[in-house]
Amino acid sequence: MKQKFYDTAVKQERAVLVGVITPNETEAQEKEYLEELEFLVMTAGGKTEKAFTQKLLRPERATFVGTGKLDEIKDYVKSEEIDMVVFDDELSPSQLRNIENELQVKILDRSNLILDIFAGRAQTAQAKTQVELAQLQYLLPRLTRLWTHLERQKGGIGMRGPGESQIETDRRLILNKISLLKERLKLIDRQNETQRKNRQQLIRVALVGYTNVGKSTIMNMLSKSEVFAENKLFATLDTTVRKVVIENVPFLLSDTVGFIRKLPHHLVECFKSTLDEVREADILIHVVDVSHPNFEDQIRTVNETLKDLGAIDKTMITVFNKIDAFKPEDHNINVEQEPITLDDFRHSWMAKNNSPAIFISATQKENVEEFRNLLYDYVKQVHTARYPYDNLLY
């Protein structure tokens, strides 16, 4: 008898992306947003086959895109046997239900995709609790679509179908679980607060920035530790704290979760306790991927998030990372002869608009010593102000 072999490898899901170009967005911006969404799909383990866009004054209330565009997506999904369709904005429960009925495949929006990545990356009890809480808060208004097979049978008193009661039961269970998780988070917060109190004697520095700009690589470089770093979005989810000593000054360096455009509000709320490291830091190191064509938008997103956290007025050093990967043509800079040097960066508008600023390549160890010296000066300044009679520095 001939032996049968079965392929047990997990099949990579194939995805289609959908975005709407509103009057206050350009096509170039939407293209960049969809590229970021494609990166999110890749991080989640999927593969993007095609992207669809449509110009609209505002997304359609019922189906997000127009019916003609939805038919076009439906034909492509059917002919190419696509596994899922990912939308660049958060879909309302009714939009999700209508699109699912029409396309008959898995439908995800940006929030759901980010939650999925977060769930896969969470390591500590705190991160797992935060992600679970955010997932349940996202699921709560979308319960109806999970119970369409238990529809109401008839109207009137005493004729309520099993679907209604099941939804009510599920809603109550989810609300109970949400309150339980919130209590658990309060307990974890109290434990973390105790840990932070024990660290108060040392100066605290926090790495902040957009996701995938090289924060963990800089953390490893400064602290000589092995924090997980990868060319994927949200490689870091749990805050990592390391003690670093430059010359004779010790301080604590923390690596935090990266920010992203259109980060779901309930996710920001759930992760506020993780971002306490940012709120309580003495110095912020804002890491920017200078090689990214739209790094200015990323700086804006980070500053807006820091403003929401009440941390925008802190002492901040802007570190422009990945100078080795910088391509002038991506930034509409006309360089005819020689490549851009470190001196060119130092005299650029980037340095003038973001003082103090430093330009480095963490992977190539370029200009790292100047960065260490700058950081040392700032930490020493805070240390001297806090402990004026400390013999450590003299």
Residues 178 and 210 reside in one and the same domain: no
Is the residue at 78 inside a domain?
Answer: yes
Q: What per-residue confidence (pLDDT) applies to 146?
A: 55
Q: What per-residue confidence (pLDDT) applies to 177?
A: 87
Q: What per-residue confidence (pLDDT) applies to 154?
A: 46
Residues 112 and 93 reside in one and the same domain: yes
Q: Which two tokens stand for residue 26?
A: 């350009």
Is the residue at 44 inside a domain?
Answer: yes
Residues 261 and 314 reside in one and the same domain: yes
209 is in an annotated binding site: yes
pLDDT of 3 > 70? The answer is no
158 is in an annotated binding site: no
Q: What per-residue confidence (pLDDT) applies to 205?
A: 92
Range of the domain at 297: 201-329+339-386
Q: Which two tokens stand for residue 254?
A: 């923390």
Band the pLDDT of 316: cuts 50, 70, 90: very high
Band the pLDDT of 102: cuts 50, 70, 90: very high
Among the residue ranges 243-252, 254-263, 305-314, the one predicted with the least confidence is 254-263
Report the chain's terminal Cα–Cα distance, integer Å: 83
- Domain at 351, CATH number: 3.40.50.300
79 is in an annotated binding site: no
Whole-number percent of the chain with pLDDT over 90: 22
Residues 321 and 221 reside in one and the same domain: yes
Residues 192 and 210 reside in one and the same domain: no
User: What is this structure's pTM?
Assistant: 0.77
Q: What per-residue confidence (pLDDT) applies to 158?
A: 47
Is the residue at 392 inside a domain?
Answer: no
212 is in an annotated binding site: yes
Is the residue at 110 inside a domain?
Answer: yes
Residues 373 and 275 reside in one and the same domain: yes
pLDDT of 157 > 50? The answer is no
Residues 325 and 273 reside in one and the same domain: yes
**CA atoms of 243 and 287, how far apart (whole Å):** 19
Residues 87 and 221 reside in one and the same domain: no
- Domain at 31, CATH number: 3.40.50.11060
Among the residue ranges 2-6, 130-134, 318-322, the one predicted with the least confidence is 2-6
**CA atoms of 292 and 289, how far apart (whole Å):** 6
234 is in an annotated binding site: yes
323 is in an annotated binding site: yes
Residues 310 and 194 reside in one and the same domain: no
pLDDT of 159 > 80? The answer is no
Is the residue at 152 inside a domain?
Answer: no
Is the residue at 154 inside a domain?
Answer: no
pLDDT of 262 > 90? The answer is no
Average pLDDT on 5-30 reads 80
Q: What per-residue confidence (pLDDT) applies to 321?
A: 92
376 is in an annotated binding site: no
Total structural domains within the chain: 3
Q: Which of 198, 220, 241 is the last residue of a domain?
A: 198
Q: What per-residue confidence (pLDDT) applies to 156?
A: 45
Band the pLDDT of 64: cuts 50, 70, 90: very high
Burial class (CB in 10 A: 0-12, 13-18, 19+), 215: buried
Q: What per-residue confidence (pLDDT) applies to 263?
A: 74
Higher-confidence position of 151 and 115? 115
Q: What per-residue confidence (pLDDT) applies to 73?
A: 94
Look at the alpha carbons of 18, 23, 26, 32 in this order and tell me if their dihedral is positive or negative.
negative
Whole-number percent of the chain with pLDDT over 70: 79
* Pairing state between β 240-246 and 249-255: antiparallel
Residues 350 and 213 reside in one and the same domain: yes
2 is in an annotated binding site: no
Average pLDDT on 170-198 reads 81
Average pLDDT on 335-358 reads 75
Query: Considering only CA atoms, which of 138, 165, 162, 136 is closest in space to residue 149?
Result: 162
Is the residue at 40 inside a domain?
Answer: yes
361 is in an annotated binding site: yes
257 is in an annotated binding site: yes
Is the residue at 153 inside a domain?
Answer: no
pLDDT of 279 > 90? The answer is no
Residues 77 and 103 reside in one and the same domain: yes
236 is in an annotated binding site: yes
390 is in an annotated binding site: no
363 is in an annotated binding site: yes
Task: Look over the chain and give the mean of its residue pLDDT values, rounded to a whole number.
Answer: 80
302 is in an annotated binding site: no
357 is in an annotated binding site: no
Q: What per-residue confidence (pLDDT) applies to 25?
A: 83
Look at the alpha carbons of 115, 116, 118, 119 in this order and tell me if their dihedral is positive or negative.
positive
165 is in an annotated binding site: no
**CA atoms of 243 and 204, how far apart (whole Å):** 9
pLDDT of 289 > 80? The answer is yes
Higher-confidence position of 55 and 8? 55
258 is in an annotated binding site: yes
Residues 236 and 344 reside in one and the same domain: yes
Q: What per-residue confidence (pLDDT) applies to 171?
A: 81
Among the residue ranges 30-34, 71-75, 352-356, 357-361, the one predicted with the least confidence is 352-356
325 is in an annotated binding site: no
182 is in an annotated binding site: no
pLDDT of 237 > 90? The answer is no
Among the residue ranges 190-199, 239-248, 256-265, the one predicted with the least confidence is 190-199
